[in-house]
Each structure stands twice: as structure tokens, then as C-alpha cells.
Amino acid sequence: MSTSTAVSLNKPATAAGRGRYSIAKTIVIVFLSILVVTQVYPLLWLILYSLKTNEEILSGSFFALPHAPQWSNYSAALEGNYFRYLLNSLFVTSVTMLTVILLSSLCAYAISRFRWRYGQVVMLLFLVGMMIPMQATLLPLMIIFKNIHVLNTHLSLILPYVAFSMPIAVFILSGFMKTIPHEIEESAVMDGANIGRIFRSIILPVSVPPVMTVCILTFINIWNEYILAATFISSEKLKTLPFGVNSFVSQYSVNYGAIGAFLVLGALPVIIVYFLLADKITQGMVAGAVKG
Amino acid sequence: MNVLKVSRLTIAAFVLPCLIIYVGIVFVPIMVSMYSGLLDWNGIGESKFIGLDNFRNLFFHDPVFWPSVRRTLMFSVFSMAEIPIALLVAILLKRYIRRPNFLVSSYFLPVILSVVVVGQLWKTIYNPASMGGMLNQVLEAIGLGSWAHAWLTEPSVAMYSLYFVALWQYLGYHTLIQYTGILNVPEEIYEAAKIDGADGFAADRYITFPNIIPIFKISIVLAFIGSLQAFDMVMVMTGGGPAHATDVISTHMYNMSFLSMKYGYGSSIAAFLVILCLVATFLINLIFNKLEKRFS
């Protein structure tokens, strides 16, 4: 009896609640959509900008569409060394990623599974390194690289890129490898497999998900890195994309449309990758943030 | 058998390649930098050992240094002020949106872009209206033309313009981190709370909030590290100018070493930066360990 009263008393309340709920929901959706506009519109604006003439940019309105798309801005931009920069970035980033995966998975395996005295010390070293900002090593690395004659080569970028990607890679990989069941390795040992073979045929294949995370983190960080590239590289033909974009923009300071086009082209590769792998990238970056 | 027993040679083969590169590129330069901080050296010629003179000049006679420290810290404060907004967005996403993928990916889009693209894009947006700058055009269009500024060349507003770009770029990152944190709070707790009468924002106050304190730590560390990475953004957008109005610790270090050729002095700034980072991380961890104890 008492329960049925409670239910009937509750009914109008929920109905009223639902009415409020839908108003609240509308407000929330408006608010969240405004955020989409503020986050995405600057990029759309850039695309419009890149298709306008200088006159349209200087006198026109910020939301006006270009009268006729100025594709010549893009050809002007491509006359800069866009493809050269792109290739350099591809080369530097992929070599860095491969090296990071190989070396840090070996190290992470040793830390998480081998019985040796200094495993925790090595791990601690990586944890401390996570907190060291890359730019603090800028000056000394510059001097060291100059002395060993690797300044102004891709190696001078790959070495620090690899080193600064390692802590988080080792952290993520060793965290995962600790959870692999020991029985798998035991049976492999029984079957006479040596440690190299266990690593190659068992550990690496099951570690694909964290390796993907490391790949994504390394890719985003290294692909976008600017300051080391701008400091260590001076030859035009060795510049990576962010550095190239910046030098193009500084050189063509009055050809606004071409600058816009170059910025669009500069953002394009990473945006394409993001469209293909959005979920993986967001998950990977969240996993990468969890390092404090 | 719990952990593999292997020969020293095997351990070395697994660990050393990684460790040598890592120590050689991260720790050796830091040590070199700490030592160079004690030198009067332009980076090329003869160097002279001057003890702590660089640090004395830095702390007591450098008019640019403390303001640059303040701006670096303000950068983290502004970035941290973004976390409550991100939390609010995350809570709203979870409560009202059934398929949040589109929204989340839109918010996240700026995060994956290079600082160069973001910096140059915003430089263009901040341009005077006569040079096609969007912000001033928007202000004029909505009748707030008097609010228009030379956003990056007026010393009094330039730094705030830079803070804002960082907020814009990283809002999506913080939102996504908070959102993931909220999704990981077990649904049963909310259901139990509902029976006890805690619903809506009360549930957030007593359940969401205490449960995602570890996530706050991640966001705060990220905001702090991000504010140091503001280096690239400042270099791309203003280079520390006008008249040092946007200098942060690392741009001051860069300008001193590469433009003023005071390599020893620049190294002492780098040493300060490393110590600041380690101390701040230590403090953040300490505070959060206490917080987590109190709330669990």
C-alpha cells in the first residue's frame, strides 16, 4: 500500500523533472556546440583564408567565402619546399619510432621480467627523466653535437627525439609486460626457446596494443617538434615540416593567401592521420598523459 | 619461477642500448649544463670559471629573469584554471550526450596540431583588422571595435594573448582526460547513491569528484609541463618580445645563449629550469598523496 502511494506520488515529480531535463539538455547541447565552434572554426577560417586573394583578406569579412578559390595560393605554397620538408619529417619520425619501439621494448622487458638487482634503479632513472624538460638540454646538446660533428644532420634530431621518447615508452611497455602471464614464458623455456626467441615470438606479438600507444605518442610529439629542429638544423634541404612551415611563413610575410595555404598543408598530414585513427589517438594520448 | 633468471650479458644486451642513448642524451647534457652554468663562456672561445656569479647575477641583477619566472608560473596557473572547465564539459558530456565521439574528437583536434601551425594560425587571427585578422574583425562586427587591440605587439596584452592560445589548444586534452576518468568510475556507485538520494550534481560532488582526484593530478602535471612547453609557442609567436613582455624562463635562456652569446649564463638558467621542474613535480605529488589519503 505504502509503496504504491510512493510510486504515484513520484510520477508527477518525474514528469516535471523530465521537462526541466529537456530544457537543461538543450542548454547543454548549445553550450557544447559553441565549444565545437570555438575549437574548430579557426581551422575552417584558415582554409577560407588560404583560398582568398590578398585584397579579399585585407578588406573582406572574416566569414566571407572567397569569390573564386585561389588555388594559385597552393601552387605558390608548393613552390616552397613542402614535399622536401614532408619527406624529412617522415624519415625522422619513422626512424625515431622504430628505434624507440625496439630499444624501449627490450629495456622494458628486462625491467619487468628479469631477476637482477638494478631493475628498479633503471626504472627510477626513467621516471626522473620524464620530468626533465627537453629544452633544458638544448644548449649543452648543441655544443656536444657541434664537437662530435653531427650538428645539422638528421641524426642530431633523431638522437634527442629517441632519448626523450624513451621514458614514457618504457613506462607504458613495462607496465603492460608485467601483466603477461608467466606460464607462457615457462612453457617456452621448457620447449627450449632462448630468451631472444621468447622476446621475438611471444612478448612482442602480445604487446601490440601498448606498442601502438607508444607509436601514437611518439608520432604526435616528434612530428610536431619545432624548437630542436630550428636550433640544430640549418640546411634548407634537411628541415622538418614544422620548421619548414615557420620559415616559409616568415619569408612570405605579405603573401597572406600563400601563408594560409602553407599552414593548411602543414597541418594536413597529421589531420589525415587523426581522421583515420581518431579513437586510437585520443586513447593513446590519454594513456600518455597518465605518467605523473 | 616468477621472474626470469638470465646471464648478465643478456641483461646488458637488453638494457644497455636504450640506457646509453638515454643517459647520454638526457643526463650527460644536464650535468654539462650544470657545470657550464659556473662558467663565463660565449660557447665558442675561452671559458673562465666564475663559481656562482652567474646565479648571483640571475637572481639579483637580471631585470628580465623574475618576471619571466612569474610568467612561466602564470602560464601553469592559467592552464590549471582550465581544468574545472574541462571537468564541467566532461560531466555534461557524460550526463547528456549519448554518442559523444564527434564532440570529443572536435575538441581534441587542436591538441594534435604542431605548435607552429597553431602559433602561426593565431598570429594571423590576432593580426590587425586591416591585415585580415579575424579577432579584431569579429569585435568590430559585433560593435566592440573599441576592444580591438594589437594583440601581440602591445606589451600589456601580449602575454594574455599567448595564455589564451594555450588554453584553446589544450582544452580538448584536459576534457578528454577528465571524461575518461569519469567513465572509469564504476556505474554501481552512482546507482547506490541514487537509492540514497544523491543524484545529479550532488552525485558529482560526493562521487565523481573524490574518485577522479588521481585524474586531477594528471591534468595538473600536464598543465605544468605544458606551460614549460609554452617555449615553442612563445618562440613562434613573439620570440619573447615586445621588449621582453612575453619572455618566459626558456625563451630568456634561449635568447641569452643564442642571441646575446652568454652561453654560461644561459646554462645557469637551464639549470634553474631543471631544478624548478623537479621541485614542482615533487610538490604536486606530495600534495596529491595527502589529498588522496584524505578522500579515500
- Please report the pLDDT score of residue A9 as a whole number: 37
A:63-102 residues touching chain B, CB 8 A cutoff: none
- Hey, which residues does A114 pair with through a beta bridge? B4
User: What average pLDDT does the segment A144-150 reach?
Assistant: 91
- For A73, other C-beta atoms within 10 Å of its C-beta total 25
For the complex shown, is ipTM > 0.90?
no
Q: Is A168 left (phi over 0), alpha (psi -120 to 50) or beta?
A: alpha
B269 in reach of chain A (CB within 8 A): no
Q: Is the pLDDT score of A4 beyond 60?
A: no
Of B116, B130, B222, the CB nearest to A58: B130
Q: Is the pLDDT score of A94 beyond 90?
A: yes
Binned at pLDDT 50, 70 and 90, residue A17 comes out as very low
Of A45, A140, A282, the CB nearest to B32: A140
C-alpha cell at B154: 602591445
Rounded to whole angstroms, the Cα distance separating B36 from B21 reads: 22
Better pLDDT: A60 or A14: A60
Whether the CB-CB separation of A172 and A213 falls below 8 Å is answered with yes
Binned at pLDDT 50, 70 and 90, residue A120 comes out as confident
Whether the CB-CB separation of B210 and B216 falls below 8 Å is answered with no
Q: Is the pLDDT score of B182 beyond 80?
A: yes
Q: Is the pLDDT score of B94 beyond 80?
A: yes
B110 cis-preceded (ω within 30 degrees of 0): no
pLDDT, tens digit, 9 for 90 and up, residues A157-182: 999 999 999 999 999 999 899 888 88
**Is the dihedral angle over the CA atoms A155, A158, A164, A166 positive or is it negative?**
negative
B273 in reach of chain A (CB within 8 A): yes
User: What average pLDDT does the segment A106-117 reach?
Assistant: 88
Whether the CB-CB separation of B111 and A240 falls below 8 Å is answered with no
Single out the residue of B92, B115, B276, B63 nearest to residue A32, CA to CA: B92
- Please report the pLDDT score of residue B164 as a whole number: 92
Decide if A58 and B228 are in contact by the 8 Å CB cutoff: no
Which residues of A are less than 8 Å from B279 in CB distance? none
Residue partners of A85: CB distance under 8 A and separation at least 6: A239, A240, A241, A243, A244, A245
What single-letter DSSP state applies at residue B110?
Answer: G
B106 in reach of chain A (CB within 8 A): yes
Decide if A245 and B116 are in contact by the 8 Å CB cutoff: yes
B:139-198 residues touching chain A, CB 8 A cutoff: 141, 168, 171-173, 176-177, 180
User: What average pLDDT does the segment A18-46 reach?
Assistant: 84
pLDDT, tens digit, 9 for 90 and up, residues B17-63: 999 999 999 999 999 888 888 888 887 778 888 888 888 888 998 88
A254 in reach of chain B (CB within 8 A): no
Give the C-alpha distances (Å, rounded to integers) separating B16 from A169, B8, B23, B24, B113: 16, 11, 10, 11, 34
Whether the CB-CB separation of A60 and A52 falls below 8 Å is answered with yes
- Please report the pLDDT score of residue A54 as a whole number: 79
A:5-24 residues touching chain B, CB 8 A cutoff: 24
Which residues of B are less than 8 Å from A166 in CB distance? 18, 21-22
- The overall average pLDDT reported for chain A is 84
- Please report the pLDDT score of residue B1 as a whole number: 41
B21 in reach of chain A (CB within 8 A): yes
Rounded to whole angstroms, the Cα distance separating B242 from B131 reads: 19
Decide if A163 and B22 are in contact by the 8 Å CB cutoff: yes
User: What average pLDDT does the segment B160-180 reach?
Assistant: 91
